[in-house]
Amino acid sequence: MTSPPSPAELVEAAGTGSPRAVARLISLVEDDSTGGPVLREVMRLVAPFTGRAAVIGITGSPGVGKSTSTSAYVTAFRKRGQRVGVLAVDPSSPFSGGALLGDRIRMQDHAGDNDVYIRSMASRGHLGGLSAAAPQALRVLDAAGCDVVLVETVGVGQSEVEIAGLADTTLVLLAPGAGDGIQAAKAGILEIADVFVVNKADRDGAEATTRDLRHMLGMAPSVEGGWLPTIHKTVAARSEGIDEVIDAIEAHRAWLTSTGTLQKRREHRAQVEIEALALGLLRRQMGRLDSSDALADQARAVAAGETDPFTAADTLVAAL
């Protein structure tokens, strides 16, 4: 009988390209997403190997062909010799619903390719938000030597904003159809998209959708030295136009790097993540105060009209 590998052993194995070790590590961070000791150990161990992967967010309404497109992008990145990770946080995706790395890959084109890691994650809440463990899973894929990580999420509710918060480059997929362009503007997608892809471009209306997008981009305020989102047409099911999209992603990355924007974005992302974790820690510290009755005492005083919630909060913070 052998004992299960330790996090340190798993991180070492993941670094040498073991899909099984990557899968195990992601399971560990998913199972311990509230910040327990295992997650903390894994994050500490992978930190030195992170910061290399290009993180590409892929979002769009249901039916625009996100999964087919993601699969086509994987093929194209592989042809360029890149190791690719995929995080699918899309309830409508064929990768979702319990698909795992390695042994249960549903993305059949890439089965058996040890340089492609595919992982589906449960979405947080019914609006298709990102999984709470997505940033941690990203770090694992990054540390495992992925050159590119594609994060696919359905474009509803908060998820497209969340994905833009995680990704270096955000692709917004659209399909031809009346009002799609206007919907895009409504959802604030214009502000998060670095690259627009009009997929299913062999259908009626592709030209109109492209024109609408171009019109809206023309009206958007442009920033001196900023990135002007590009628009591309694809038929992902027939692999048409995919290389142009990959070229656009690489052009955006070159722009991010040369202007220092990549560094700034990553630092900002780290700030947001650290702040959220710090507030979580403080909330738990107050929880401990709670059991020692400090919060409960203040609450009783507020309920009795002896103090007000603001003064109570001041007292509590001072006691931390």
CA distance 197 to 230: 8
Return the bridge partners of 57, or none.
151, 170
Among 13, 43, 54, 166, binds a copy of itself (CB under 8 A): 43
- Does position 271 interact with a copy of itself (CB under 8 A)? The reply is yes
User: Are 65 and 237 spatial neighbours (Cβ–Cβ below 8 Å)?
Assistant: yes
d(CA 320, CA 317): 5
Task: Look at the alpha carbons of 240, 246, 247, 252 in this order and tell me if their dihedral is positive or negative.
Answer: positive
Return the structure tokens found at 307: 């103090």
Q: Which of 38, 270, 288, 292 binds a copy of itself (CB under 8 A)?
A: 270
Rounded to the nearest whole angstrom, what is the least distance from the CB of residue 135 to a copy of itself in the complex?
8
- Residues 120-159 vs a copy of itself: string with x where CB under 8 A? ---------------x---x--------------------
The residue within the footprint of a copy of itself, chosen from 2, 3, 48, 218 (CB under 8 A), is 48
| Nearest-approach distance from CB 188 to a copy of itself, in angstroms | 12
Helix, strand and coil in the chain, % to nearest 5:
55, 15, 35
31 binds a copy of itself (CB under 8 A): no
Regarding 182 and contact with a copy of itself (CB under 8 A), the answer is: no
SS3 label, residue 133:
coil
Among 44, 80, 104, 203, interactor with a copy of itself by CB under 8 A: 44
Smallest CA-to-CA distance from 66 within 138, 159, 178 is with 159
**Closer CB to a copy of itself, 1 or 318, in the complex:** 318
Measuring CA to CA, which residue among 176, 235, 245, 236 is closest to residue 207? 176
Stretch binding a copy of itself (CB under 8 A), from 109-117, 188-196, 210-218, 294-302:
294-302
With CB under 8 A as the rule, give the number of residues binding a copy of itself: 54
Residues 168, 265 contacting (CB under 8 angstroms) = yes
Q: Count how many residues are written for the chain.
A: 320
Q: Which stretch binds a copy of itself (CB under 8 A): 59-67, 189-197, 238-246, 271-279?
A: 271-279
First-to-last C-alpha distance (Å) of the chain: 47
Is 193:170 a contact under the CB 8 Å cutoff?
yes
Smallest gap from Cβ 136 to a copy of itself, in A, equals 9
Closer residue to a copy of itself (CB): 111 or 127: 127
273 belongs to the binding site for a copy of itself (CB under 8 A): yes
Amino acid at 79: K
Write out the residues near a copy of itself by the rule CB under 8 A.
Answer: 35, 39-40, 43-44, 46-51, 135, 139, 263, 266-271, 273-275, 277-283, 285-286, 290, 295-296, 298-300, 302-314, 316-317, 320
